[in-house]
Amino acid sequence: MCIDYGRRRCGIAATDTLRIVATGITTVATAELIKFLKDYTSREPVDAIVIGRPVTLQGEPSESMRYITPAVARMRKEFPGMKFIFWDERFTSAIAHRAMIDGGMKKHARRDKAVVDRIAATIILNDYLQSRANNPGI
């Protein structure tokens, strides 16, 4: 599972049981994230949660990490057996916008930030899955 964490909402994506491809699931209000995760993990097998890690072009943590780090600490407390993995999310929003344009999505629909967040989570998770396929030790 992957979370593209934001102050207002979080894009959520998950992979199939064979970990071949990621699919966008939904977008959840940040205030409802823990509740959503509890419900989702009670119904679906989840062995790890990948969290988008916003970094600058120089590879340094971005300003957003100041609210993501405490949120992940709360998640770790709520899900003590869960593995949490930070994964570079540079350019995922731009890639998501490009994917929407290339997919023929109308301009009005592309303005929906929830769709962008869900697609960004899917991109982050697919990047992570590809990296694992190429480097099994990750």
Query: Which segment, 70-79, 112-121, 129-138, is predicted with the most confidence on average?
Result: 70-79
pLDDT tens-place string over residues 38-51? 999 999 999 999 99
CATH number at 84 reads 3.30.420.140
Please check whether residue 9 is in contact with residue 113, taking contact to mean a CB–CB distance below 8 angstroms. yes
pLDDT band at 119, cuts 50/70/90?
confident
pTM: 0.85
C-alpha closest to that of 36 among 16, 10, 70 = 10
Domains of the chain: total = 1
Please check whether residue 52 is in contact with residue 89, taking contact to mean a CB–CB distance below 8 angstroms. yes
The amino acid sitting at 95 is I
Q: Which two tokens stand for residue 51?
A: 């969290």
pLDDT tens-place string over residues 66-113? 999 999 999 999 999 999 999 988 666 666 666 666 677 776 666 667
CA dihedral angle for residue 93, residue 99, residue 100, residue 103, rounded to 10 degrees:
-170
Range of the domain at 113: 2-134
